[in-house]
Amino acid sequence: MAIEEIKIQRAYYANTAEDYDAMHPDEHGLGLQFMIAVMDELGVRSVLDLGCGTGRALLKIQEKMTGIHMVGIEPSAELRSMGHSKGIPETQLIDGDAMHLPYPDGAFDLVCEFGMLHHIPHPSKAVAEMLRVARKAIFISDCNNFGQGGLLARLIKQSIHAVGLWSVADLIKTRGKGYTISEGDGLFYSYSVFNDYNQIARQCEAVHMLNSNHSKANLYRTASHVTLLGIKR
């Protein structure tokens, strides 16, 4: 990520930290509940949460389960501070880079992320790190830009993607920047969970997906947000 993009992103979170939870309602709540439901089945006893913000997922897991070793990585000092104020220890909510995790292979049973991947320029690198550090499974709850918008907008995006020109179209749309800035989400990149499906499927014995918001049966074509569970064993 370019230095200027990092500055923009960090400034956004610094300015919105106190209102972050209110500004970002629990849009990943269904995905998180699903993840918690399968943790016992998979025998998960340790979790690493990437881009964990104020630590909402960590607190929810703690509320629902006992004896789970949890660590959250969040590069924004202001968001970490908000998490610490909720009672999350500084040793449990730490600084870090999702694309360069400071852990050995298989260090955590499960590695997860909730809405983080569309905020980094090379999400496939973060997914590769998730797969490396996860011993049993990875869990992703994030955007599917190809399922966002009205029917015509989706058809246009899916057609451009099908002929391999999405990267070019996105650069044109963003006037060469490659990213968009919004009041509600700060700096973000065009991203779809389906972009990383093949990488995940190659390293997992099973991959399960569901829609986080209402959609029709074809998630790629109609789901604006998608949840994915990749089981390695």
Count the neighbouring beta carbons within 10 Å of the beta carbon of residue 28: 22
**Over the stretch 166-223, which tens digit does the pLDDT of each residue have?**
999 999 999 999 999 999 999 999 999 999 999 999 999 999 999 988 899 999 999 9
Label residue 3 by pLDDT band (50, 70, 90): confident
**Over the stretch 129-182, which tens digit does the pLDDT of each residue have?**
999 999 999 999 999 999 999 999 999 999 999 999 999 999 999 999 999 999
- Which residues constitute the domain of residue 62? 3-148+190-231
In-domain check, residue 172: no
Read off the CATH number of the domain in which 50 is found: 3.40.50.150
Domains identified in the chain, total number: 1
Residue 25 has pLDDT above 90, yes or no: no
In eight-state DSSP terms, residue 232 is -
In-domain check, residue 22: yes
In-domain check, residue 98: yes
Q: Find the angle CA(63)-CA(64)-CA(69) to the nearest 5 degrees.
A: 80
pLDDT at 233: 76
In-domain check, residue 157: no
In-domain check, residue 195: yes
In-domain check, residue 154: no
State how far the Cα of 52 lies from the Cα of 45, in Å rounded to an integer.
18
In-domain check, residue 60: yes
In-domain check, residue 155: no
